[in-house]
Amino acid sequence: MNNEQKAREIFGARAAYYTTSVSHTDQAVLDRVVELCKPTSDAIALDIATGTGHTALAVAPRAKQVIATDITPEMLDQGRKLQTEKGIGNVQFRLASVDDLPFDDGSFDIITCRRAAHHFADIHHALAEMQRVLKPGGRLVIDDRSVPEDDFVDATMNRLDVLHDESHVCEYRPSEWERMLTEAGYEIEVVETYTRHRPLSSLTDNVSPENTARIHEIISALDADQRLMMNVVDKDGVTHINHWFVMIAATRG
């Protein structure tokens, strides 16, 4: 089973969860994504790996049209339900992969990709496909799981996320994002990092008993300095851990 097939299987089973997920419905983050997009009333936007459509539906009121793509039919179905509930008419949900976007060159004024790039098997090809369908001067806004510029935290968080989701590929450091985007021909305008302190259950919910046990083993094995680096804290008997994120705005050169 390749990575895309794994993702389709995992996210098909979890689709309903992402409609109400605290992380994916984070209004402050959605508002900042829209702000960085700088949408106009005549803009055509593409939301890649839309999941249940939260980003697409946030951009839509300030754009002419949004195309929302994903590889998982169950996710798209949830997105259409959410669209109906919100009464937003200018979003079209389509089944498509970032590896082969079914659009002409220079089709979009804006491209968004939120909480998804760490699943892409070939990030360089994905960035090239985004650039291909983005108009010259068009805006790309990425919001994704990330890691700090520290080898231990980088390795540990990526290991935890593979156990949480076996379609996970890599959470990149901000410096890696800057390098990859620059090499792909984008002009970077904004790089912002932020964290969320979340219960460990955010990594173990809907996960196999074997992988859940391994996640707990990794956390239990951390020494005091490592717990500090990961911000592992018990709150009212519930273990919490940092999740790191990066938000980037760039334009096609």
Whether residue 141 is predicted with pLDDT greater than 80 in this model: the reply is yes
- List the structure tokens of 157: 């968080």
Give dist(CA 2, CA 16) in Å, integer.
23
- Region 144-173: mean pLDDT is 97
Give the start-to-end residue ranges of the domains of the chain: 3-148+167-195+245-252
CATH number 3.40.50.150 is the correct assignment for the domain at 3-148+167-195+245-252: yes
pLDDT for residue 249: 98
Whether residue 173 is predicted with pLDDT greater than 90 in this model: the reply is yes
pTM comes to 0.91
Tell me what the pLDDT averaged over the chain comes to.
Answer: 93
How confident is residue 12, by pLDDT bands cut at 50, 70 and 90? very low
Give dist(CA 157, CA 170) in Å, integer.
9
Residue entry with tokens 């990330």: 146
Strand partners, 103: none
Q: Is 221 exposed, middle or buried (0-12, 13-18, 19+ CB in 10 A)?
A: exposed
- Region 58-63: mean pLDDT is 98
Q: Closest by alpha carbon to 172, among 64, 113, 246?
A: 246
pLDDT for residue 7: 47
- List the structure tokens of 141: 């806004």
Give dist(CA 100, CA 72) in Å, integer.
15
pLDDT for residue 21: 62
pLDDT for residue 26: 85
Distance from first CA to last CA of the chain, Å, rounded?
A: 36
User: Worst-scoring range by mean pLDDT, 13-17, 42-46, 105-109, 202-206?
Assistant: 13-17
% pLDDT > 90, the chain: 89
Q: Please give the helix or strand (H or E) that residue 108 lies within, else none.
A: strand 108-114
- Region 200-214: mean pLDDT is 95
How confident is residue 5, by pLDDT bands cut at 50, 70 and 90? low
- List the structure tokens of 20: 């109400």
